[in-house]
Amino acid sequence: MSAVAATSKAVRPRVGADAIASKGWLGAHKWLVLRRLSQLGLLALFLAGPWFGLWIVKGNLSSSLTLDMLPLTDPFLLAQSLAAGTLPYKEALIGAAIVVAFYLIVGGRVFCSWVCPMNLVTDAAAWLRRRLGLKGGKIPSGDTRYWLLGFMLLAAFATGSLAWEWVNPVSMLHRGLIFGFGLAWGIVGGVFVYDLLIATRGWCGHICPMGAFYSLLGGTALMRVSAAHRSACDDCMDCFAVCPEPQVIRPALKAAGQDHPVILDRNCTNCGRCVDVCGRNVFRITTRFDRSES
Amino acid sequence: MGDMQDKPVGQGGPSPRRRFLREAAGVAGGACLLSLGVGLYAKQASALPATALRPPGALAESDFLAACVRCGLCVRDCPYDTLKLAELGDGVATGTPYFNARQIPCEMCEDIPCVAACPTGALDRGLADIGKARMGLAVLIDHETCLNFLGLRCDVCYRVCPVIDKAITLERQHNPRSDRHAMLLPTVHSDYCTGCGKCEKSCVLPGEAAIKVLPVKLAQGSKAEHYRKGWEEKEAAGQSLIGEQIELPVRGLEGKSYGDTRVLPGPATPARPGSGLDSGWKP
Ligand code: SF4
Ligand code: SF4
Ligand code: SF4
Ligand code: SF4
Ligand code: SF4
């Protein structure tokens, strides 16, 4: 096995080849498949109404009503609205509170990997970039998103309107799929091209203020990924290649600045790709309190 | 965050602290510029086209843009598919609900489901009576093509109005062209018009309607508050405030034909004997 790995490493095997060899395709894509099912399933729930008259969920990710009783509101939208100077009705407030509570538990950026439709676009761009072997480009600092988040709230305050929503590709994409696109394709396509040609994981990993907002909810997440079996790591670097936020892995996997193997960084999206792609079963999804190594 | 700090330090370059500050300044500057651009774009693009009407109960436009989260729940609960969410390129703030009266007008649902559905208050639940909605104000904007202005009896805008005889009336006027007919001019009254757009929708002209619903701000002049209407003052006081009018001579113009422009009391003389509205003419 190790001989195979060594020779195949010399000819740069595809990322995840080890995992497919040891776990089979399905085993090496378990979390990815679940995640796509979650993303597409949620979209299908929203589309069942307008397409088939099956009104389970109305609205869009900005605010929705499920089964005519459960209100859900995007807390980032609500924050912009508050900054712009309105106090919405209690439906919107309750809806946002439910969403915040949920992501405080499962991890803020679970929104990014399991819900956000833009993830399909940026994952596709990242995959294509890997396959084409595109290198280089200009990557902005990962802090850009937090500054942008702050300034966007400021802009909402200054203009008295939801300023970011004029260009927000995330809500535009979801709304567009459900209510009609207009020219919003252009903006979504722009994000794809940017991620493909200019910056690896540029949008989701460095710019999107919505992702930044959700990452702020990620500090207390109960559900976390642990590099519990890190002793088995053979430095193939596949996890770094697939992770949308590769900087979160090192502290846990290489014991850099911490000694337990749990990935506590708020920007880990709990996508589980590292679990999938590791041929040596280093990672597992567990809770933040499970500091054991195995 | 970490990618820069992870690099080894102390290789003759600036200190990590300096570098961090410089980098942070660059990032903040870039983000600030981008936000400024977005803010300015939002500001300048927030003018609503005159044909785009907000749903009933919508807050004043500036407040509306602060409150509406662009969820489309109002759109979903409108039984007549009147409302739609603006798409990028429509000229209306992307994702906000509006309708175009000439396409599908508001049917003025009694239970106002669009307002009930709005979770944010961008559509104000204070609106309990759809008759109090002010989505816009109808204006008979083209006196040259309106069939009633041409002396015909179209009346369609008048007949379809859900607030008929209050929001819109037919005002009888002498038709000077035939000199023997009346013109019944559709006339909108702002006290009652909800701006539903039924009149604009049903105007029989082939393309643009002669009657259009416009944003109230465009449709209405400001009231001349400084101008007191003599007839209203007289009614309020029960008598004329200035007493009997004194007839003043018009000095120096006595000999001129235009010297005295006052109309003599008594029945008005018709333009031509035996003509006009009251000539008793029958088809
Ligand atoms: S970072 Fe933004 S665009 Fe990317 S998945 Fe998260 S919310 Fe969506
Ligand atoms: S560390 Fe693993 S679970 Fe977290 S974002 Fe990266 S690949 Fe996904
Ligand atoms: S009042 Fe009725 S027809 Fe008019 S916009 Fe609301 S739901 Fe639609
Ligand atoms: S329901 Fe309210 S918040 Fe949602 S789109 Fe309509 S007006 Fe905006
Ligand atoms: S918009 Fe037209 S139809 Fe509607 S209330 Fe006003 S006058 Fe009547």
**pLDDT number for residue B166:** 92
Q: Is the pTM of this model over 0.90?
A: no
Is A26 part of a structural domain of the chain?
yes
Chain B residues touching A247 at Cβ < 8 A? 1-3, 6
**Do both A276 and A179 map to the same domain?**
no
**Do both A47 and A137 map to the same domain?**
yes
**Do both A21 and A44 map to the same domain?**
no
**Do both A188 and A269 map to the same domain?**
no
Chain B CB within 8 Å of residue A91 CB = yes
- Is the CB of residue A126 below 6 angstroms from any atom belonging to ligand 2? no
Is A130 part of a structural domain of the chain?
yes
**Do both A236 and A268 map to the same domain?**
yes
**pLDDT number for residue B242:** 73
Q: How far apart are CA A44 and CA B50, in angstroms?
A: 36
Is A246 part of a structural domain of the chain?
yes
What mean pLDDT is predicted for residues B3-10?
42
**Residue range(s) defining the domain that contains residue A226:** 17-32+222-287
Q: How far apart are CA A260 and CA A294, in angstroms?
A: 12
Please measure the distance between the N-terminal and C-terminal CA atoms of chain B and give it in whole angstroms.
Answer: 88
Q: How far apart are CA A126 and CA A201, in angstroms?
A: 6
Chain B CB within 8 Å of residue A203 CB = no
- Quick one: which of A263, A233, A227 has its CA closest to A248? A263
**Do both A87 and A142 map to the same domain?**
yes
A143–B1 CB contact, under 8 Å? yes
Please measure the distance between the N-terminal and C-terminal CA atoms of chain A and give it in whole angstroms.
Answer: 21
Is A293 part of a structural domain of the chain?
no
Is A9 part of a structural domain of the chain?
no
**Do both A205 and A228 map to the same domain?**
no
Is A3 part of a structural domain of the chain?
no
**The domain boundary residue, chosen from A217, A237, A253:** A217
pLDDT 10s digits, B171-195: 998 888 888 888 899 999 999 999 9
**pLDDT number for residue A152:** 85
pLDDT 10s digits, B12-34: 556 666 666 666 666 776 777 77
What 3-state DSSP class applies to B85?
Answer: strand
Q: What beta strand segments (E) does chain A contain?
A: 57-60, 63-66, 70-73, 223-226, 284-287
Question: Which amino acid is residue A68, in one-letter code?
Answer: D
As to burial, measured by CB atoms within 10 angstroms (0-12 exposed, 13-18 middle, 19+ buried), residue B120 is buried
Q: Is residue B37 over pLDDT 80? A: no
Is A12 part of a structural domain of the chain?
no
Chain B CB within 8 Å of residue A224 CB = no
Q: Is the dihedral of CA B177, B178, B180, B186 positive or negative?
A: negative
Whole-number Å distance, alpha carbon B188 to ligand 2 midpoint, is 64
**pLDDT number for residue B262:** 55
Other Cβ atoms within 10 Å of B220 Cβ, number: 12
**pLDDT number for residue B122:** 92
Three-point CA angle B255, B260, B264, nearest 5°? 125
**Do both A125 and A266 map to the same domain?**
no
The best mutation among A170, A171, A206 to test binding of ligand 1, ranked by most ligand atoms within 8 Å of the C-beta, falls on A170
CATH code reported for the domain at B137-219: 3.30.70
**The domain boundary residue, chosen from A183, A217, A251:** A217
Residue A63 CA, distance from chain mean position:
19
**pLDDT number for residue B5:** 42
**Do both A117 and A208 map to the same domain?**
yes
**pLDDT number for residue B157:** 92
Is A260 part of a structural domain of the chain?
yes
The best mutation among A62, A77, A112, A149 to test binding of ligand 1, ranked by most ligand atoms within 8 Å of the C-beta, falls on A112
Would the ipTM clear 0.90, i.e. be above it? Answer: no
**pLDDT number for residue B264:** 55
**pLDDT number for residue B228:** 81
**pLDDT number for residue B265:** 57
Q: How far apart are CA B117 and CA B114, in angstroms?
A: 5
Chain B residues touching A154 at Cβ < 8 A? 35
**Do both A145 and A226 map to the same domain?**
no
Residues in contact with A80: Cβ distance below 8 Å, sequence separation at least 6, in sequence order: A152, A153, A156, A162, A163, A164, A165
**Do both A208 and A261 map to the same domain?**
no
- Going residue by residue through chain A, which has 294 residues, state the pLDDT in tens, using 9 for 90 and above: 344 444 444 455 677 778 787 888 888 888 999 999 999 999 999 888 888 888 888 888 888 888 888 889 999 989 998 988 888 888 889 999 999 999 988 888 999 999 999 999 999 998 898 888 888 777 777 788 888 888 888 888 888 888 888 888 888 888 888 888 878 888 888 889 888 888 888 889 888 999 999 999 888 888 899 888 888 888 888 888 888 888 888 888 887 788 888 888 889 999 988 898 888 888 988 888 888 877
pLDDT tier at B239, thresholds 50, 70, 90: confident
| Domain ranges across chain B | 52-132, 137-219
pLDDT tier at B202, thresholds 50, 70, 90: very high
Which fold is adopted by the domain B52-132? Alpha-Beta Plaits (3.30.70)
Number of domains chain A is built from? 2
**pLDDT number for residue A116:** 92
Other Cβ atoms within 10 Å of A1 Cβ, number: 10
Rounded to 10 degrees, what is the CA torsion of A195, A199, A203, A207? Answer: -160
What 3-state DSSP class applies to A262?
Answer: strand
Q: Which residue is closest in CA terms to ligand 5's atom 8? A: B161
Give whole-number Cα distances, B82 to B55, B76, B99, B136, B183, in Å.
9, 10, 6, 15, 33
Q: How far apart are CA A121 and CA A108, in angstroms?
A: 20
pLDDT tier at B241, thresholds 50, 70, 90: confident
**Do both A207 and A236 map to the same domain?**
no
Chain A CB within 8 Å of residue B119 CB = yes
